[in-house]
Amino acid sequence: MSGVKPETRYTKSGDVSIAYQVVGDGPLDLVYVHGWVSNVEYGWEIPTLGGFLRRLASFSRLILFDRRGTGLSDRVSTDSLPTLEERMDDVRAVLDAAGSERAAVFGVSEGGNLGALFAATYPERTVALVTFGIFAKRLWSPDYPWAPTAERRQEEFELVEHDWASETEVRKYAPSADATLVRAISTFFRHSASPGAALALLRMNTEIDIRHVLPSIRVPVLVLHRTGDTDANVEEGRWIASRIPAARFVELPGVDHLPWVGDQDTVLGEVEEFLTGVRRGPEPDRVLTTVLFADIVGSTAKAAEVGDRRWRDLLEAFHAAVRAELPHFRGREVDTAGDGFFATFDGPARAIRCAAAIVESVRRLDIDVRAGLHTGEVELLGEKVGGIAVHIGARVAGEAGPREVLVSSTVKDLVAGSGIEFEDRGSRVLKGVPGEWRLFGVARA
């Protein structure tokens, strides 16, 4: 299912055109309802969201859509905002257009409110309901103390109006996202709605109150909520689950309000097991990344020279030195093995500068380190990564000399204009890797 970008189609909900997609051929129809704003086409451009949707489509016939006012669906007048009931009709219209008689509904944030109303109104068409980061009410009251106050809500209105899709806005929903993902989410927001449209929909969401709906839901329900959700309090999720007959509540670790940011595999595992009775591991996802391998030169001889205890201390000091540098360059530790260290980066220039800093910082330990880098597509396997790009990076490191940072021609080409200088080391045959590879030493980083 890698690389899937399904065709966008349109159907009518009343007199409004609604954009929708269908992907996957599983035995279960599953309609996914985004929160607040969405764009069914641009969503696939974000690796974390695209991977999240592909996993859902791996066990279902996944139905996606943009509600009125967002994405590729018709805009609506800010003088006549759609009610929750009208937006619920968008779900029914899309299911009809997709030829789905009964479907499970997976609603995120405000999409969970919509899903709850749909499940209560159309139980004959709802196989099950899954919610994530849901709230029942969006204004504080003594009997619902978790919602924002009117003053806090006004601050949110002003942020959207004057600083829509900014890093501040995105961080509210995805505090654990790195800079690259923050930029991608910002672009997703801008593709999903203009500032005026986003503000209008936010004002509409402020009026939501589905507390009276919850006891009427009679289909199987799974309520998922992260402990540190920065937009919807976990106590809201717990309270909501307590009001739905026989609902199952699962509290997950994490701080992100978006289910496809942070640990999405746990979220997907809970959803798949609830809907199918089977919990599989995640399918490998593939992303472009820069891999760094660093190891101690002449480690065997050095260990024999200093003895076992001193050697262990040197290894610990080496690993500590690497870990001290990684955060400065947005590096992520993947693995350590003996005298080696393996890390990944979202940018090759930062990876080169990190490698140079590591080589320099360990000189005080009276050891020489070499490093090798390559940029390529890797498979994400939980916290690990794999694929041919990883093997190439390791082989490049094996060709480096003491205190040298060696890179593949791919890395050199990607950092053109960065000010990093290289020396040509010629072509090499890398063990187990087809063809010849042109390698370059970093002269100045």
From 333, 275, 260, select the one nearest 54 (Cα to Cα): 260
Structural domains of the chain ordered from first start: 9-276 (3.40.50.1820), 285-444 (3.30.70.1230)
308-330 tens-digit pLDDT: 888 888 899 999 999 999 999 99
Give me the pLDDT at residue 300, please: 86
Distance, in Å, from the CA atom of 21 to the CA atom of 54, rounded to the nearest integer, reads 13
Residues 6+ away with beta carbon under 8 Å from 260: 46, 48, 49, 51, 52
Q: Map residue 254 onto helix, strand or coil.
A: coil
From 270, 228, 269, 224, select the one nearest 247 (Cα to Cα): 224
Q: CB 427: neighbour CB atoms within 10 A?
A: 11
- Joined together, the tokens standing for residue 272 give 């798949």
332-362 tens-digit pLDDT: 999 987 789 999 998 899 999 999 999 999 9
Range scoring the smallest mean pLDDT among 7-16, 298-307, 396-405: 298-307
Residues 6+ away with beta carbon under 8 Å from 21: 6, 7, 8, 9, 40, 63, 64, 65
Give me the pLDDT at residue 386, please: 86
Task: Tell me 300's DSSP state.
Answer: H
Give me the pLDDT at residue 1, please: 43
Which residues is 33 bridged to in the sheet? 107
Place of tokens 């086409």: 41
Give me the pLDDT at residue 281, please: 61
72-77 CB contacts, 8 Å cutoff, 24+ apart: 72/8, 72/19, 72/39, 72/40, 72/41, 73/16, 73/17, 73/18, 73/19, 74/16, 74/17, 74/18, 75/197, 76/16, 76/200
Q: Is residue 426 left, alpha or beta, with left meaning phi > 0 and alpha meaning psi from -120 to 50?
A: left
Give, in degrees to the nearest 5, the angle at Cα 353 between 352 and 355.
65
Alpha-carbon distance values, 255 to 107, 136, 183, 225, 342 (Å): 18, 19, 19, 10, 27
Place of tokens 């106590």: 235
Distance, in Å, from the CA atom of 195 to the CA atom of 135, rounded to the nearest integer, reads 23
Are 68 and 74 in contact, with CB atoms under 8 Å apart? yes
Distance, in Å, from the CA atom of 258 to the CA atom of 133, rounded to the nearest integer, reads 8
Are 375 and 408 in contact, with CB atoms under 8 Å apart? yes
Are 335 and 319 in contact, with CB atoms under 8 Å apart? no
From 84, 92, 78, select the one nearest 112 (Cα to Cα): 84
| Average confidence score pLDDT of the chain | 91
17-39 tens-digit pLDDT: 999 999 999 999 999 999 989 99
Judge whether residue 126 has pLDDT over 60.
yes
